[in-house]
């Protein structure tokens, strides 16, 4: 059992607070992705779990054992970083065996583990090569194999695929998912790539300015972002935010679009609408097409609407041209709203905004 519990962990660098009292529990064998923009604190949090950085406050527990005072080698973890330090002067075999030799495991055990993990990563035919003779993707596999060979309870990965080209990245992503699920380790994986996060994670912890804003399954994070930031960070293109005004009958309208809304004594309220949750019709949001991007499976249309821009994902055979006037109707029954008195909350309608509290 290797549950990881991060309890009220904060990190200050001089006067700058990189992490604000983080609480996060990662279940045994769970694949947790830390996702966020550059500088939000992902790597710092990972390094604290690894023991490469000391927290200014808080505790780290792995497998029911408090570890924040222990050096990395005593934490039962293996790490794979972006600049995966594969030694060019060693063969692939010796690279994978490196940590096992440090642990002074018997030769037979070393050979068994190296062969098993090499097979798992499809590099068994490369074992005799020097790693300086490998491609980036092959070196990447060696780095992962070396971590897996340690049979750790926990694997920590920091942007391990970022040096690869797009195609290889896609391939390795799928392989990594399968291999890590089979190895039954608990994984924390840092990335700023939302697609990678969505595809790999059991849960995603979305980070922003040293806080975890939401930790939930990929679908939950996508469909029910707990905060405006999450909606604006996840999704390509991200959510549209439009300000609607209360009509006489209590519904909410913006430029011809009427939305089912919460009861509120506020006069304006912000709705959050995913680009794929609208369709063209005879009524709805008045929108003038500014840019049309046929992307293959669908067409992305950027429109001018009252108060700003609105992006809609339409069918690939949609016949729209720059300058067209469209009406866009919401196709999901319960759009998300952000009451103006709640700075961060995004809440699924229908709801009573006066009875909710912001996270
Ligand atoms: P990236 O995706 O760019 O790697 P990140 O989310 O991993 O970003 P961190 O590396 O954790 O971000 O850094 C978080 C913040 O802490 C940043 O503002 C960074 O400048 C700051 N920081 C990190 N390490 C140090 C340090 N040793 N001294 C001072 N500030 C630091």
DSSP secondary structure of 293-320? EE-SSEEEEEEEETTEEEEEEEETT---
40 lines ligand 1 (CB under 6 A): yes
Q: What integer pLDDT is reported at residue 203 of this predicted model?
A: 97
Tokens read off for 189: 């994986």
Q: Token pair of 332, please?
A: 């999901």
In order of 71, 109, 149, the CA distances from 103 in angstroms are 15, 11, 12
Whether the per-residue pLDDT at 353 is higher than 60: the answer is no
Ligand 1 centre to CA of 154 (Å) is 23
Cite the beta strand spans of the chain per DSSP E: 4-13, 16-26, 31-36, 57-62, 65-66, 77-81, 154-158, 186-191, 203-208, 211-216, 240-246, 252-254, 257-259, 268-273, 278-294, 298-305, 308-315, 325-330, 336-338, 347-348
pLDDT at residue 138, rounded to an integer: 84
Instruction: Note the pLDDT tens digit of each residue in 286-306.
Output: 999 999 999 999 999 999 998
Ligand 1 pocket test: pick from 36, 39, 193 the residue with the most ligand atoms within 8 Å of its Cβ.
39
Query: What is this structure's pTM?
Result: 0.86
Order of strands across the sheet that contains 347-348: 257-259, 252-254, 240-246, 268-273, 336-338, 347-348
Tell me which DSSP letter residue 266 carries: -
* Full set of structural domains in the chain with CATH: 4-231 (3.40.50.300), 238-348 (2.40.50.140)
Between the CA of 146 and the centroid of ligand 1 the distance, in Å, is 27
Residue 338 banded pLDDT, cuts 50, 70, 90:
low
- Residues 229, 209: contact at Cβ < 8 Å? no
Query: How much is the pLDDT for 341?
Result: 44
Q: How confident is the model at residue 77 (pLDDT cuts 50, 70, 90)?
A: very high
pLDDT tens per residue across span 179-212: 888 888 899 999 999 999 999 999 999 999 999 9
- Residues 140, 160: contact at Cβ < 8 Å? yes
> Does residue 357 carry a pLDDT above 50?
no
pLDDT digits (tens, 9 = 90+) for 16-51: 999 999 999 999 999 999 999 999 999 999 999 999
- Can you say whether residue 337 is alpha, beta or left, with left for phi > 0 and alpha for psi between -120 and 50 degrees? beta
Instruction: Strands of 116-275 (E only): list them.
Output: 154-158, 186-191, 203-208, 211-216, 240-246, 252-254, 257-259, 268-273
pLDDT for position 349: 44
Cα angle vertex 305, ends 304, 307, to 5°?
110
When pLDDT is averaged across residues 75-91 and rounded to a whole number, the result is 84
Minimal-distance CA residue to ligand 1 atom 2: 38
Q: Is the CB of 299 under 6 A from ligand 1?
A: no
pLDDT above 90: residue 82 = no
**Which of 343, 340, 335, 341 minimizes the C-alpha distance to 359?**
343
Quick one: which of 50, 146, 69, 52 has its CA closest to 102?
Answer: 146
Q: Is the pLDDT of residue 153 over 80?
A: yes
State the pairing for strand pair 308-315/65-66.
unpaired
- pLDDT of 267 reads 81
Residue 119: its pLDDT value, please?
A: 87
Kindly give the number of the ligand 1 atom that is closest to the alpha carbon of 11: 16
pLDDT tier at 177, thresholds 50, 70, 90:
confident
Percent of the chain with pLDDT over 90: 51
- CA 44 – ligand 1 centroid, Å: 6
């Amino acid at each position: 059992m290797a549950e990881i519990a991060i309890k009220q962990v904060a990190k200050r660098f001089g006067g700058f607070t990189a992490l604000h009292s983080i609480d996060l529990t990662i279940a045994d064998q769970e694949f947790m992705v830390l996702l966020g923009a550059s500088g939000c604190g992902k790597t710092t949090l990972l390094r604290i779990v690894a023991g490469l950085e000391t927290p200014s406050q808080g505790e780290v527990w792995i497998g029911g054992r408090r570890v924040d005072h222990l050096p990395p080698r005593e934490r039962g973890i293996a790490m794979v970083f972006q600049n995966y330090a594969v030694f060019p002067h060693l063969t692939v075999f010796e690279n994978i065996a490196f940590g096992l030799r440090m642990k002074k495991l018997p030769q037979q055990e070393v050979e068994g583990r190296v062969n098993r993990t090499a097979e798992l990563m499809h590099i068994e035919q490369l074992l005799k090569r020097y790693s300086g003779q490998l491609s980036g993707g092959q070196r990447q596999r060696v780095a992962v194999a070396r971590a897996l060979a340690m049979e750790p309870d926990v694997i920590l990965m920091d942007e391990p695929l970022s040096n690869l080209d797009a195609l290889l990245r896609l391939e390795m992503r799928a392989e990594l998912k399968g291999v890590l699920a089979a190895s039954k380790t608990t994984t924390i994986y840092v990335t700023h790539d939302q697609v990678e996060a969505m595809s790999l994670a059991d849960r995603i912890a979305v980070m922003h300015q040293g806080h975890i804003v939401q930790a939930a399954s990929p679908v939950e994070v996508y469909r029910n972002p707990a905060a405006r930031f999450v909606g604006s960070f996840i999704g390509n293109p991200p959510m549209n935010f439009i300000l609607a005004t209360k009509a006489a009958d209590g519904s909410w309208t913006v430029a011809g679009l009427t939305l089912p809304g919460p009861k509120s004594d506020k006069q304006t309220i912000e709705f959050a609408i995913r680009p794929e949750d609208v369709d063209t019709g005879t009524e709805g949001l008045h929108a003038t097409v500014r840019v049309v991007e046929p992307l293959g499976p669908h067409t992305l249309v950027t429109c001018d609407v009252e108060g700003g821009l609105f992006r809609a994902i339409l069918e690939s055979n949609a016949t729209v041209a720059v300058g067209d006037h469209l009406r866009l109707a919401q196709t999901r029954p319960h759009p998300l709203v952000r009451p103006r008195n709640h700075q961060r909350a995004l809440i699924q309608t229908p709801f009573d905004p006066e009875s909710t509290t912001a996270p």
